[in-house]
Every structure is written in C-alpha cells, then in structure tokens.
Amino acid sequence: MGGRAELLGQTLAGARAEGRAALIAYLPAGFPTVDGGIDAVKAVFDGGADVVEVGLPHSDPVLDGPVIQTADDIALRGGVRIADVMRTVREAHLATGKPVLVMTYWNPIDRYGVERFTAELAAAGGAGCILPDLPVQESALWRENAAKHGLATVFVVAPSSKDARLAEITDAGSGFVYAASLMGVTGTRESVGEQAQDLVRRTRATTDLPVCVGLGVSNAVQAAEVAGFADGVIVGSAFVKLMLDAEDAGAGLVAVRSLARELAEGVRGRV
C-alpha cells in the first residue's frame, strides 16, 4: 500500500500485539464548525482513539442514522466543503501523528474527480477512505488512484453478504474490513448481538485483513464485548450525540474526550 496506509496497518497491528482491539472513532467534518470538528478529532485521539474516520457530510446519508444526519445538516448549513474535510484530516494528523481516514459516499468523489480527491487526501496525510456505497465491481478507477497515492480502500460488509460476496469484497479492499454489525442505518444499540460475531467469523475466513465492527457501540461494556471477537471497535453516533447534546462546544470536547477514554478502557478489557 505504501503512504499513510502503512501507518494504519502498523497501528492496527500494534493494537493486536498488545492483545487488544483498536478503537476507531467517527466524527463528521465541519461539525459543529470546521474548527470545532478539528478540535473534536484531536479530543478523541487525546482520549485514546487509535484511528479516526472523518465523515464527509452528505445531504442524503442513506446509511447514517438520525444523529449523524443531524450533524451533517449542521455542517452543510455551515457551508462545509471538501477542502474543509481535507483540512480536518491534515490538521488532525499533523497534531497527533495518528491515522485519519475519510468516510464518504461515492457521489461527492465522483463529482470532485477521483484523481484530484486521492491526490489531495494523500497530500493531507490521509490514510485512506471508507466507501460504504461503492460496489466493488465499479471500484477499479478508485482503487487504481488510491494505490498510486498510498491510500487504503476500506469496503463495508454486512450480515446479508454471502460468503462468495465477502471474498470478492475483502480481496479488493485494503487497510481493514468494516463490518456493519446490524442491518440498517447506524446508531447506538443496546446490544451488538451475535450477528456481528458471525459476520466477523465469516469475513475472517476470506482475508487476513483486520476486521473492525461498527454500527452500535456506545459504552465501554459494549466495546469490551466487540473487542472480544473483532480487531477494531468503531464508534460514531455516540460521540456525535454527546456533541449535539452539549451546552457548548467546550463541553462537547470534554464529553467526547471522556467517552474515548472510557471506550479505550473497554477495548483493553478493563471494565
């Protein structure tokens, strides 16, 4: 892979060497403001996140639940642009030296230009991209440009994915595999259930890539549960909800840093 994708691989391998899962946080760029979003990414890193996914706000985030949709709406009303997403990646990576990915739907990249997007993301120090709605069979142009710039391409698998489909997806991806633990949109859940464990088992049968589980974790107990069978625990809506509910931006940063610290204990089994 080369480039910052190597840093991502080293980070996930380092967590495994410590006998634990990695903590991966998701936060949308431009929320509550561009500067506030950058501060939030730094705060979750400070709390103990190993990797951060920066969301590119979209007007129709079909896989995201109401919490992230609300944050996206705020960011879009604030005028967030792809340049702001790149700045978020750059400043967060420069400040922490840790891997930062972008999570985005395909349409904004297609409009912006694949070559332009991958070149700018690499220049910003990005580790790669998570592309939840890009079909593998239509991904050759993206993967060619991503590889050229040393970026990981992370695809999403779901419980509905048949074994042959899982093999096709994991063969095309790099960095890690994003396992959606429950069908439907993202958001916190009371229990991640056995479905996620079965999906991880079936995915691991097709690849040596780390398998990281998202869509539902919101506390240390759940993080510890997922860490027992996955290589990484992905948390998004829980962080965003704390920022939405906070009295002000400063209180939001305190809250997300604290949750990251709690979840970091969870993935280490210290709950």
- Going by C-alpha positions, the residue among 170, 20, 37, 162 that lies closest to residue 100 is 37
Give pLDDT, residue 63.
66
Give pLDDT, residue 67.
86
**Do 6 and 223 form a contact (C-beta atoms < 8 A)?**
no
Cα 261 to Cα 190: distance, rounded to the nearest angstrom: 20
* 18 has catalytic annotation: no
Among 6, 18, 35, 64, the one annotated catalytic: 64
Where do we find the tokens 């829980």?
238
CA pseudo-torsion sign 266, 129, 58, 62: negative
* 120 has catalytic annotation: no
Please give the C-alpha separations between residue 3 and each of 14, 31, 125, 142, 147, in angstroms, as whole numbers: 17, 28, 8, 16, 9
Quick: pLDDT tens for 170-223: 999 999 999 987 644 455 554 446 788 899 999 999 999 999 998 678 999 989
Give pLDDT, residue 58.
86
Q: Give pLDDT < 70 ranges for the chain.
A: 1-3, 61-63, 182-193, 215, 271
Residue ranges and CATH numbers for the domains of the chain are: 4-268 (3.20.20.70)
Give pLDDT, residue 185.
47
Among 39, 50, 53, 72, the one annotated catalytic: 53
